[in-house]
Amino acid sequence: MDRYTLPANCQLPLPELQAEHEAMIDILNRGLETIRNVPDPSAELFLSLLEELRGVLGAHFVHEEQVMTRRRFPHQGPHSLHHDLCAARLDRIGDMLLAGQLKPNRFLLDELFDMIVDDIIRADGDFKTFLENSDVQTGA
């Protein structure tokens, strides 16, 4: 894989939320470029990437939950819990990087990609179906 990309069938019908998903992937792709160009990247370099991802992820979760509230998404409670689990997973990855249990490499980026895709496919899939069935696709 030259770059991380989201599966085409996972696109949300709300462009603002989809752009936030893409912004997370862009952060990972910058990390991929780093490991290609820096022979032995430091944990500190990747910690800044994790901090940026944490900020984008947190803002996205808040925005997405606001949209869910406005749209009266019936499964918001479990979805919000999934968001909390994703944030905790990101924190664990950061802790493992700091402790030297994870190296700043492709495996770490793949773990982050898995976390993002898990949220988008598993959790957001239900929300995507809800939006498509409600025919309400504007006003993110």
Residue 12 sits at the vertex; the CA angle it makes with 8 and 17, to the nearest 5 degrees, is 120
Q: How many domains is the chain built from?
A: 1
| Phi and psi, residue 95, nearest 5° | -65, -40
> What pTM value is reported for the model?
0.90
Query: For 2-30, what is each residue's pLDDT tens digit?
Result: 899 998 888 888 999 999 999 999 999 99
CATH number of the domain enclosing 111: 1.20.120.50
Task: Classify residue 5: in a domain, yes or no.
Answer: no
Residue 140 lies in a domain: no
Instruction: Tell me the per-residue pLDDT of 37-72, one tens digit each, with 9 for 90 and over.
Output: 998 888 988 999 999 999 999 999 999 999 999 999
Domain containing 32 equals 15-134
**Residue the block writes with tokens 């994790």:** 50
